[in-house]
């Protein structure tokens, strides 16, 4: 075999390609990308950590989530009640936004059958129908004693006829009275919490209003609510 001369070996070694070098710019850019990724992950971790701590401290979701749940709850609640009375059906629209706490309590009592068999204990013609406590008129008695003075007061939309309300004075008790107005009552909001209005069955309300009563406004014949059906839509 022929020997390769040292000079030829030197030339061949120079011709061999060396390893590819990475530029400084590329190294700097890669490091910046890594730093940005790490900072992003750290910021995300801090955000969710604080959110978890806030939820544990309050026992509730954040404000936006709470509002969303409240709105969803209101939407799911029945918005109408159909009173099946011994004179016919009375359909009531409930003021879920205007009186949410009272509507919630009313719906809860409906589901528990509280109004099943409730009698209209007092009927004041051209004034109000009262269902519930038969021991006294309560708010209705005080209104009646004012006589014509109530006609001199300024009215508002909630003072119209066929409004559904409950007594303010009975909110601390287990009872729940129902009042359906049959005429505009100027000082209605002073005595009742209005939480609905009759949208169908006004003729039934008027028929109940026409029943015979004694001197204490108690119907001579028993009349009342047979049951209550709740509806989301009518």
**Predicted local distance difference test score (pLDDT) of residue 72:** 52
- What is residue 60's predicted lDDT score, i.e. its pLDDT? 41
Q: If 0-12 CB within 10 Å is exposed, 13-18 middle and 19+ buried, where does residue 189 land?
A: middle
Other residues' Cβ atoms within 10 Å of the Cβ of residue 170 = 16
* Residue 222: both structure tokens together: 């028993």
Q: What six digits make up the tokens of 169?
A: 């004075």
- Could you tell me the mean pLDDT of each successive run of 10 residues in the chain, 234 residues long? 55 54 78 84 76 48 44 72 97 93 94 94 91 62 48 50 86 78 82 92 96 92 96 90
Helical H segments across the chain, by residue range? 6-15, 24-58, 63-76, 100-111, 139-146, 188-191, 202-209
- Cα–Cα nearest to 196, from 231, 164, 225: 164
The neighbour count for residue 224, using CB atoms within 10 Å, is 19
Residues 6+ apart with CB under 8 A from 228: 81, 82, 83, 84, 110, 115, 116
Phi, psi at 54, each rounded to 5°: -65, -45
CA distance 193 to 170: 11
Residues 61-94 have pLDDT tens digits of 444 444 444 555 555 789 999 999 999 999 999 9
Beta bridge partners of 91: 82, 200
Q: How many CB atoms lie within 10 A of CB 145?
A: 9
The per-residue pLDDT for 75 is: 56
What pLDDT, on the 0 to 100 scale, is given for residue 46? Answer: 77
Scored b (16 or more CB within 10 A) or e, 27-56 reads eeeeeeeeeeeeeeeeeeeeeeeeeeeeee
Among 117, 93, 110, 113, which Cα is nearest to 194's? 93
End-to-end CA gap in the chain: 108
Q: Which residues are CB-contacts of 16 (< 8 A; sequence separation ≥ 6)?
A: none
């Amino acid at each position: 075999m022929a020997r390769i001369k040292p000079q030829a070996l030197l030339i061949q070694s120079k011709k061999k390609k060396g390893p590819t070098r990475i530029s400084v710019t590329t190294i700097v850019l890669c490091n910046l990308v890594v730093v940005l990724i790490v900072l992003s992950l750290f910021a995300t971790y801090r955000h969710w950590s604080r959110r978890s701590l806030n939820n544990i401290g309050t026992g509730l979701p954040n404000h936006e989530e709470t509002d969303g749940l409240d709105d969803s709850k209101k939407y799911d609640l029945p918005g109408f009640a159909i009173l099946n009375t011994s004179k016919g059906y009375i359909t009531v629209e409930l003021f879920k936004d205007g009186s949410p706490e009272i509507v919630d309590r009313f719906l809860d009592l409906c589901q528990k059958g509280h109004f099943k068999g409730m009698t209209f204990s007092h009927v004041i013609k051209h004034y109000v129908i009262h269902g519930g406590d038969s021991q006294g008129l309560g708010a209705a008695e005080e209104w009646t004693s004012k006589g014509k003075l109530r006609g001199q007061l300024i009215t508002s939309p909630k003072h119209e006829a066929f409004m559904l309300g409950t007594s303010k004075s009975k909110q601390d008790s287990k009872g729940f009275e129902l009042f359906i107005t049959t005429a505009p009552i100027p000082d209605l909001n002073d005595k009742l919490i209005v939480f609905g209005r009759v949208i169908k069955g006004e003729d039934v309300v008027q028929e109940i209003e026409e029943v015979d009563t004694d001197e204490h406004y108690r119907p001579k014949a028993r009349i009342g609510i047979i049951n209550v059906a709740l509806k989301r839509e009518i």
